[in-house]
Structure 1
């Protein structure tokens, strides 16, 4: 049974609003044939969700790490603060943080404005990813002002999450609230966005470029809001002039970036997050497309999107075609089988002391009982436990370490679905799916004699996708 989304949005058939169901089927089929890891898909047109599908075990009602789609929410806060007279586009950043500016700062730093942050024209040479700052427990505001300037602010577009962080910090300064608290009554509640959280950095600031976890429908609602010029259910949520400015190119004739929105061909625009979290607005067609996945980058799926959208809005379709689409979308939720290549060994408990390693892992424990593996990893911090189905999938929660494989995120009590199969009598393959994220870990354990090796990889990451193989020294 496919999951049902309780986002409060009305539903309609694709053909009833001029969307060709067979084109949507072809889009999904081609994406699958290309081996792309699509986790979720929503299409909205003329006031209705007309198609949605979710790859098992994704639940559309559960929050998901949206990565840099958070930036488009942050842009809303700046637009609202400007409308309330708390900020101006030409306000200079340093005037809000005089105590954080180094004494030997580049003189050009004093020219950096709110608008430069919004348009990613800070003067920095490269991106400062959230994955970098998540490992720093001192002030990120101070870190921002340490970044050298390669260009005069306002001249060169260089995408960087550091700019969005400082916009969030500005909201703290001018409102006395975090970005999330400021947006809650102004944006999240009017759009009926619930079950969302936003990380807090060491300055007490939400990282405006990332760190937002919310149901995928939150991104759809935000995009629809912008496609409707800031109006939601007859109420002006965002100033229309702000939405118009935010969703057109800013900063020069060759720009493809607005105020924390990316411009697309044909007048479309989108919110983007790493590993393919995307909400694309086709305003002239009254349509919004959302996809989420676990892919290396959006360039993998964009050719398929551009082939079928906005072409799919050309009309056509019958009730029979709508039924075919519903069946195709439901098939996304089919649970993959786990089948061992040999009989499972007898129930046992095996505990291994691990050789010295850079991950600080001291011990691995494997307890096989009645088709369930209780796996424990002990490192310098704690013992981390996970229940894993053998030839089956088990849902649960875990704090298994893995920051380096997961774009700098350290998950605590995170949802996980874990299953395992025996590839041969000595080799156990575990799959750990984190359904609220883009990540899926593959762990291969080879038991030879009295020892074990432990190899862990991940489907996508901004850095290395595999850890150094761990090997044991003794078994007890």
Structure 2
């Protein structure tokens, strides 16, 4: 994989003090756990950092930021004459012709599902699954739109799923297979994998795992109007249409998230500054044409607006019109800080002295079941440094250097980092970070009654056993 060109912040007109202020604000906010960021200015990487135990080469679950990659696949298919935006959606699924009788469903065009303007007034995922759990496109088309397509915005997962299904049908390829020679290889994007449904279709609306570097490269392609290193990949017309308002959004309510009310393009959000793709819990690709900049972020937060607020408050003013003479010292201080970024591990002490035999035991769910994680049926503790989670019949062994004040990383069977230890003689508390997702599982074992509790810091949106808390691997 080719490296993106590097530069210093000052050489590209970026005030390193502003980046430092942004990092300060991210790390000081208890609602935000930053995992990575990459900032490009004038086509060069001026800032990149990963908070250990997260690392540059690990793919991350992008959640709905996946949608912007789906839009890119659709853009290639349009350019190749395989899809037409003004074709009815139903025309790509003739086997559903007899079932889909609602006139609004039949009037829905490809451009409507590409722009979240299917005519539905709200999310339809649950209703579509209720109509047909095995074929979500059919289920979606059987949910009658509330308004005429193209007249109302509603963020709607089955709309993007349908767009992705059309691409996969007309190309005869999964999204990752179709994008590999057209996007991933030309841009130098390495490992990327997409969660598929029971039909084998890659979801489109979520489920893509890719590195922060890959997100930054996608943003740079769009910033350059579809050109990469002098070669046109996407039509300029597609980029222009994808990144302008296709459907308006009602004004933000008082106290609402204003950056989610600026309008929507083709699987890109408009923002108060520029436009972006984003995914649940703080995955961002922010493109700033006026500043000639791209910002890629991965994180864990339930307040995504706060992250953007901090970008506008600290990073945007740091992007000046030209080089900043005399910025070498500030650049050096920033580089030093970026090299030592790390998340604080959970606190804990080593196993209590003289209690090893007591702690060499199996813990059952407190109350008989674990509400946050029903398939987690047991936790086995070895006071010598191993904790084993028994989930859906699988055994997930975790290394734990209790009391060492760091993270212990294990790559198989699931990439995790573990920290924590004994908070007292009767209690073991462990923080398990699933490194290819935004999520942490917090496990607490109580010796008094030989039970454990487990809760997610943020709830994963894709169901399944813990062994799936990673990027899909080839069979």
Between 1:322-331 and 1:205-214, the stretch displaced more is 322-331
Matches within 5 A, 1:215-226: 215-226=211-222
Matched, 1:208 2:204: yes
What are the superposed Cα offsets for residues 231-274 of structure 1, whole Å, 9 maximum, x if unpaired?
101000100111111111113597611111111224x1111111
Superimposed CA distance per residue, residues 417-471 of structure 1 (whole angstroms, 9 cap, x where no aligned partner): 11231111101100101122111121111110xx22211122222679xxxxxxx
Distance 1:361 1:436, change over 3 A: closer
Structure 2 stretches lacking a partner, 5+ long: 251-261, 463-475
Between the aligned partners of 2:416 and 2:133, the Cα distance in structure 1 is 27
Match among 4, 8, 11 for residue 3 of structure 2: 8
Match of 1:367 in 2: 382
Could you tell me how far apart the structure 1 residues matched to 2:390 and 2:51 are?
A: 29
**Deviation readout 1:159-182 (Å, 9 max, x if unpaired):** 112111111110122111122211
User: 1:353 Cα shift?
Assistant: 5.4
Q: TM-score, normalised to structure 1's length?
A: 0.85
Note the C-alpha offset of 1:303: 1.2
Q: 1:310 to 1:382 in 2, by over 3 A?
A: closer
Q: Which residue of 1 aligns with 2:257?
A: none
Distance 1:217 1:378, change over 3 A: closer
Q: Does 1:257 align with 2:264?
A: yes
2:450 is aligned to 452
User: RMSD value over aligned CA atoms?
Assistant: 2.5
In the alignment, the residues of structure 2 paired with residue 213 and residue 239 of structure 1 have an alpha-carbon distance, to the nearest angstrom, of 25
- Counterpart CA distance in 2 for 1:352 and 1:310 is 50
Q: Which residue of structure 2 aligns with residue 56 of structure 1?
A: 52
Paired residue for 2:362? 351
The aligned residue for residue 160 of structure 2 is 164
- Partners of 1:341 and 1:424 within 8 A in 2: no
| 1:391 to partner: Cα distance | 2.2
Displacement of 1:362 in angstroms is 4.7
More displaced stretch, 326-335 vs 235-244: 326-335
- Indicate the SS of the match to 1:414: coil
- Unmatched 5+ residue regions in structure 1? 1-5, 399-412, 465-476
- For these two proteins, the number of residue pairs brought into alignment is 436
Change (3 A) 1:128 1:384: farther
> Is it true that 1:461 corresponds to 2:459 in the alignment?
yes
TM-score after normalising by structure 2: 0.85
Aligned counterpart, 2:349: 340
User: Which residue of structure 1 lines up, in the alignment, with residue 258 of structure 2?
Assistant: none
3-state SS, counterpart of residue 401 of structure 2: strand
Residue among 386, 396, 400 paired with 2:398:
386
- In structure 2, relative to structure 1, the CA distance for the partners of 1:240 and 1:373 (3 Å cut) is same
**Aligned-partner SS, 2:422:** strand
Q: What does residue 28 of structure 1 align with?
A: 23
The equivalent of 1:377 in structure 2 is 390
Change (3 A) 1:140 1:288: same
Contact 1:342 1:423 in 2 (8 A): no
Q: Is the 8 A contact 1:280 1:289 kept in 2?
A: yes
